[in-house]
Each structure stands twice: as C-alpha cells, then as structure tokens.
C-alpha cells in the first residue's frame, strides 16, 4: 500500500459497520474547518462520519494484512502515522469538495431528480443497514449521511464536466492529465477562500480498533451495493 499520497476511499458503497460502537463525538456541531472567518464551516460531526467511514473501508481492505499496526505506523513514507496522514488528506478532500460545489453553476452542474432519488435511497439504505450503536458512534443522522452522498454526487458530476471542458479547450492533452488539470483548477479556487482548521478538534477524530473487535479479522464488517448516489453522474 505504498503510495505517495493516500487516496480516501470515499465511494458510493454502503458500509455495514456492525462492530462499531460508542458514543456520539463531543463538539459535534463545532467548526472543525472555519471558512472565510465564520462565513461557513465544516463541522467536526461531519468530518467524524467521513473519517470513520474511510477507516472502516481501510480495515476491510487491509486489516488482514496489517492489523491494528495499519494506523500506528508510517505506511506510505510520509513521516506520519497512517492515522495522521488520513486526517490531513480528509481535511484537504473536504475543502476540495466544498469549493467544487461552490463552482458547480459555472459548469452547469445541478442535481437532477434522478440524482436526488439515488442520494435519498443511499442515505436510507445506510441508516437501515447499520445498527443504532454504530450510527451513534458515527454521528450518522440523516442530514450528515445525505450531505455525504450529496458531496459525492457533486464531485463526480463536476469531475466529468471539468474534464469535458478541459478536453474541448485543449487543456487536457498528452502532457496534462485530467486529474492534474482538475487538481490545479481546484487548488486555484481554494486560494480564494480562507480555511482555518481547529487542530484541537482534529485530535478528537479517533481510530476505532475494529480489527481486534472482530477477533483479528475484518470479515464481520462488510460492504453491500447500494443504489449508487453517483452512478449516473459519470455518464
């Protein structure tokens, strides 16, 4: 799993985290990321949900190989534990998603009735498929889960629209990939915003020891296909 940068496993699959238990994170509604000096925010509660969602995905995919050491060692040569690296990448990803949604109108990106139905279906499936204790530990109320799938849908549609425009204008070519083109645009957009991360709140994002809870195997945490919130976005 040696990569230059961790790619968050944010997908349209619904996780069934049957072994996840715990209390709702404190400071749920506080701004983990303050945007433009109080103009907007990304809450700790939302970040906690995405963080634990991704943690469970990594445990499912790599738990058999690495066990709990996955989160306490430098897995990618970054000089950080994998936990801290995922936190940094989580912050960056949420900021990117935020600005991409802000620029959606420029690309004619809007959610269709079909998109909204798929988002609603994925949200309800997630809430139905996970236990009450798991949902509580995730802070996974309907609004947070729906926001998660909404962000995924916007990003998928924006990536497609940006790629189409870049190719039409010749900005995406043999020397510039679509991912590089999109990343450069998004980083430019981000420079117009002031993002301030509360480092003390960031420390409250904790890795749950799911690996040991399932007896050295991640088999009790499974994934099931949902009505994809982003399936139509890439078409």
Say what the pLDDT of residue 157 is.
Answer: 96
Say what the pLDDT of residue 207 is.
Answer: 86
For residue 230, pLDDT beyond 80: no
Number of residues assigned to the chain: 235
Whether the full predicted model's pTM is greater than 0.85, yes or no, is no
For residue 127, pLDDT beyond 50: yes
Between 58 and 223, residue with greater pLDDT: 58
State the Cα–Cα distance between residues 81 and 188, nearest whole angstrom: 29
Own/partner long-range contacts of 132-136 (Cβ < 8 Å, ≥24 apart)? 133/20, 133/21, 133/22, 134/17, 134/18, 134/19, 134/20, 134/21, 136/22, 136/23, 136/24
14-28, 91-105, 195-209: which has the minimum mean pLDDT?
14-28
Say what the pLDDT of residue 177 is.
Answer: 93
Between 58 and 93, residue with greater pLDDT: 93
Average pLDDT over residues 131-154: 88
Say what the pLDDT of residue 142 is.
Answer: 92
Say what the pLDDT of residue 209 is.
Answer: 61
Q: Per the structure block, which two tokens stand in for 179?
A: 């991912």
Say what the pLDDT of residue 22 is.
Answer: 59
Task: For residue range 185-218, list pLDDT tens digits in order.
Answer: 999 999 999 999 999 999 999 887 654 444 443 3
Residue labelled with tokens 């399936």: 231
Q: Binning pLDDT at 50, 70 and 90, where does residue 222 land? A: very low
């Amino acid at each position: 799993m040696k990569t230059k940068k961790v790619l968050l496993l944010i997908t349209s699959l619904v996780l069934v985290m049957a072994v996840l238990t715990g209390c709702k994170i404190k400071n749920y509604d506080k701004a983990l990321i303050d945007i433009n000096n109080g103009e907007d925010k990304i809450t700790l509660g939302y970040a906690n949900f995405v963080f634990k969602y991704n943690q469970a995905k990594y445990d499912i995919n790599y738990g058999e190989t690495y066990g709990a050491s996955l989160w306490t060692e430098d897995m990618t040569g970054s000089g950080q534990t994998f936990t801290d690296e995922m936190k940094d990448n989580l912050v960056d990803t949420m900021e990117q998603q935020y600005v991409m949604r802000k620029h959606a109108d420029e690309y004619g990106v809007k959610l269709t009735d079909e998109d909204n139905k798929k988002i609603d279906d994925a949200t309800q499936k997630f809430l139905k498929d996970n236990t009450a204790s798991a949902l509580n530990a995730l802070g996974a109320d309907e609004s947070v889960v729906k926001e998660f799938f909404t962000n995924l849908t916007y990003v998928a549609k924006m990536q497609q629209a940006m790629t189409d425009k870049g190719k039409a204008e010749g900005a995406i070519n043999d020397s510039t990939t679509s991912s590089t083109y999109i990343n450069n645009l998004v980083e430019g957009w981000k420079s117009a915003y002031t993002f301030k991360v509360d480092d003390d709140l960031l420390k409250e994002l904790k890795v749950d020891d799911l690996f040991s809870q399932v007896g050295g195997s991640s088999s009790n945490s499974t994934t099931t296909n949902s009505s994809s919130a982003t399936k139509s976005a890439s078409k």
